[in-house]
Amino acid sequence: MRVIASANQKGGCGKTTTAINLSSSLSLKGKRVLLIDFDPQAHATMGLNVKPSDRKNSIYDVITPKENKSLGIKDILVPIKDNFDLAPSSLILSAVEQELSGMEGREDRLFQAIQALKEQYEYIIIDCPPSIGHLCFNALRACEEVIIPIDMSLFSLRGVAKLLDIIILLKDKIGHDVRSRALITMYDRRTRYSRIVLEKVKAEFGNNVFETVIRYNIRLRETADCGLPVGDYDKNAIGHKDYENLAEEVIRQEAARMYPDLNTLNVTQDILQKTEEYIDMSVKPPGIEQPISEMENFSPHSPQSNYSQMVEAIATKSTNSFLSDEDG
Ligand SMILES: Nc1ncnc2c1ncn2[C@@H]1O[C@H](COP(=O)(O)OP(=O)(O)O)[C@@H](O)[C@H]1O
Ligand SMILES: [Mg+2]
């Protein structure tokens, strides 16, 4: 099992798009994939046409400490399509940042939760929130590899600095080796600025940049709004081809990372303190508009994903009427 997080402190750089479309492309290649939506904004959940408000439970119920036994990831799974399951998120996940503060073992909640799934999946992809906090820390602790999407802005590159700090701390303090690789997203070779950012990313990351470059492709935006991975809507889209290439490159890479010893709680105190300093310093992630109390109104039903109906509904529409044809 390979656990790969999609992370960058900057919002809008392609973390969720990468998580959804890499997961889908891996599943199309026959790999058993679980996508964990670990962002309270639940964009990956909604991007797969699963409504957080329709779900009784989410990854929050797995991560949050409960008096009774917390749920396992298997209790919240939503099957999306062949080989592809989702562990959905919901806005209430943002409460975890406070709930885990000061709690023993807080850094290991996600790591522990995925141990039970080792036999079930070949790939676990984690979509991280755009902030450095307990959620991001849990994701980095749980993964062996991190993909850092970098869109064509230098802010995106700056957002990487704190993430890399935590990765270095994890390695120094508990020997947890997270291999990080930058992924260029929204690349437009026609602009000089894109080429400048590409050069800067290569200078910063050296060999740790994916050969695959994700080009700007309006289909990726449109299909996310429809609740579909791009390839399930338009197999000829540039975005689908790019994420197919990324999946192939990921599969080619050796999974050479082993999980470290679990008995390292004491040594992580330094790291936690540093993380908590970051939380204090950081601004709230953008895009959280509803108060948490609204999200407590969960429906008692937990319907399956209506993904297949969605595919069917979209497939019956003509391509031209649904999406503009200028791109992809
Ligand atoms: N390669 C791309 N080409 C065009 N639009 C993209 C591309 N990648 C992402 N987007 C769009 O950019 C926006 C931000 O992407 P998203 O994946 O949600 O970023 P993040 O998860 O980092 O906040 C979304 O509307 C998404 O559909
Ligand atoms: Mg996102």
Ligand 1 atom nearest to CA at 149? 22
Ligand 1 neighbourhood includes 15 CB (under 6 angstroms): yes
Ligand 1 atom nearest to CA at 10? 22
CATH match for 2-322 among 3.20.20.540, 3.30.70.20, 3.40.50.300, 3.40.1790.10: 3.40.50.300
Predicted confidence at residue 273, as pLDDT, reads 54
CA 327 to chain centre: 26
Contacts of 142 (CB under 8 A, 6+ apart): 3, 5, 110, 111, 113, 114, 126
Nearest CA to ligand 1 atom 17: 14
Length reported for the chain: 328
Predicted confidence at residue 110, as pLDDT, reads 96
Sorted by where each begins, the domain ranges of the chain are 2-322
Q: State the number of CA atoms in the 13 A half-sphere of 246 facing the CB.
A: 31
Ligand closest to CA 40: 2
DSSP 220-258: HHHHHHHTS-GGGT-TT-HHHHHHHHHHHHHHHS-----
Which of 10, 16, 17 should be mutated for ligand 1, with most atoms under 8 A from CB?
17
Residue 12 CA to ligand 1 centre (angstroms): 6
pLDDT in tens, 31-80: 999 999 999 999 999 999 999 999 999 999 999 987 777 799 999 999 99
Does residue 251 surpass a pLDDT of 70?
A: yes
Asked if 74 contacts 121 with a C-beta cutoff of 8 angstroms, the reply is no
DSSP 65-117: --SSPPPPGGGT-EEEETTEEEE---GGGGGHHHHTTT-TTGGGHHHHHHHTT
Predicted confidence at residue 254, as pLDDT, reads 61
Does residue 213 surpass a pLDDT of 80?
A: yes
- The arithmetic mean of pLDDT across residues 200-205, rounded, is 82
pLDDT in tens, 130-141: 988 899 999 999
Predicted confidence at residue 232, as pLDDT, reads 93
The structure tokens 């639940």 sit at 42
208 vs 293, residue with greater confidence? 208
